[in-house]
Structure 1
């Protein structure tokens, strides 16, 4: 009862902070999967595939978050300029092993712990690791490809669970999507929640050394960044969220693929994550 009221109160907050949106028309760029229950896990995959008249493909041993990084090509970005290892990770994510370390800013840790206890661990979604030992035994990574009726990949679910407990940490839907009036697509990540979702639009950049930078900056409604979408009272509402992220996917001096992930609230750095990526299966 208490948790139901908490979830309802959260939806009411984002309804008040947001604006009404039409996901079947003007704001179709915000349409993304939601969870039919309070506990998310991977229950949204089949419904999302059905929406495309397709199916969930778990058979591919080297499935990627994107079928090809070339879907992001446009003015200022060419997938061919990426290091082969960076491109391979996104196109064959299932073939890679992921290790992660986390570090919270002291001022943000209490709030992060509260959100983790009240929401993340309970709903098994966006359960950010609060302590380095939380992920000491590793994190499993599974990619489920969502295909349309013709077999074309339209999205991918990236499901990450703790090896020690099997609990879901993240359950995200990855695709390429264009925002209104932009000249090239962004990486779109949606995290389903009951009666809503959290979405992030990440602008891709190739750096001179062939590394990849993905950025969700501050900006107006309709630009790259983070959004919260909720369904309440028969209508849908969306709001920009003051969460900004940067990912830098690069090779270190020893040829190891790594990712530095910085999460900011406003202008202040709240959390840093570091990933070591190793190809577990031959290319």
Structure 2
């Protein structure tokens, strides 16, 4: 049996595992908040976009014709726990005009997590071109390129933004995510809803926004119950969908340094243990002369 036969079995086994630890959900009813794009077999990249556009009876918009940010406006996150008007204008511009920004990244894995992370990156991340969290810090030394692709609904309304991040040196995908404003059951505060399509399923994260000092902001997926902000895995088996809340917790703290540069500290924890710390420097893309 060759690798081409082994990979589908491995992926199928992974989905069966998540089905066994998850619960059956009703995306047409009480669990509609977990509706998110899924991908077909093989590499993910941006291949899921046409199916998602068809699902919402909309269209894909690339380049300057559509929304250029992860969110059309941060005002959509206004709620009892977050005030967008208190966020620094540069951070706000990054979210609303992400396509006009460059990203440089650094990674540091905690002891005991780097080896498992490398295995996951090899077995899944690089092969599927999705969720390829780099273990080798030199892999991101040349920077990260990003593209924003928006999906518009039938009436021209913004359905979501795909943020496609690739390694500048190799062109390999790190993340292919779908960003929207979401609202969880029984919560008045909107969240940032991020989905990462996978074969017959996805990984989803609901991130809770909060204000910090000096115009900074934090997005977090803390521990909680099913239905709270946090991370979820869903898998589709025939006409049934299953979901599990997973003990992966993230925090993104966006702030301006002493020179006015936008920076982000991204900490990922598994249960309560810090697995990896990423740092991003965000800067406006240089204007090209004609």
User: Could you tell me how far 1:14 is from its partner in structure 2?
Assistant: 0.4
Which among 182, 186, 191 is matched to residue 187 of structure 2? 182
Counterpart for residue 10 of structure 1: 14
User: Could you tell me how far 1:45 is from its partner in structure 2?
Assistant: 1.1
Counterpart for residue 57 of structure 1: 61
Q: Is the 8 A contact 2:81 2:209 kept in 1?
A: no
* Stretches (4+) displaced over 3 A: none
Counterpart for residue 221 of structure 2: 216
Cα displacement string for residues 66-101 of structure 1 (whole angstroms, at most 9, x for unaligned residues): 000011111121111110011000000000011001
User: Could you tell me how far 1:233 is from its partner in structure 2?
Assistant: 4.5
Provide the TM-score with structure 1 as the length reference. 0.97
Q: Is the 8 A contact 2:208 2:229 kept in 1?
A: yes
Cα displacement string for residues 3-22 of structure 1 (whole angstroms, at most 9, x for unaligned residues): 11110110111001100001
Counterpart for residue 153 of structure 2: 148
SS in 2 for 1:222: coil
- Whether 2:125 is the aligned partner of 1:120: answer yes
Counterpart for residue 159 of structure 1: 164
- Whether 2:80 is the aligned partner of 1:39: answer no
Cα displacement string for residues 156-183 of structure 1 (whole angstroms, at most 9, x for unaligned residues): 0000111221111100000000000001
Distance in 2 of aligned mates of 1:110 and 1:232: 31
Extract unaligned runs of 5+ from structure 1. Answer: none
Cα displacement string for residues 224-248 of structure 1 (whole angstroms, at most 9, x for unaligned residues): 0000000124311000011000000
User: Could you tell me how far 1:38 is from its partner in structure 2?
Assistant: 2.0
Extract unaligned runs of 5+ from structure 2. Answer: none
Q: Is the 8 A contact 2:210 2:217 kept in 1?
A: yes
Count of residues paired in the alignment: 282
Cα displacement string for residues 168-226 of structure 1 (whole angstroms, at most 9, x for unaligned residues): 11000000000000012100000000000000000000113111100000100000000
Q: Please report the RMSD computed on the Cα atoms of aligned residues, expressed in angstroms.
A: 1.2
User: Could you tell me how far 1:50 is from its partner in structure 2?
Assistant: 1.7
User: Could you tell me how far 1:36 is from its partner in structure 2?
Assistant: 1.6
- Whether 2:266 is the aligned partner of 1:248: answer no
User: Could you tell me how far 1:281 is from its partner in structure 2?
Assistant: 5.0
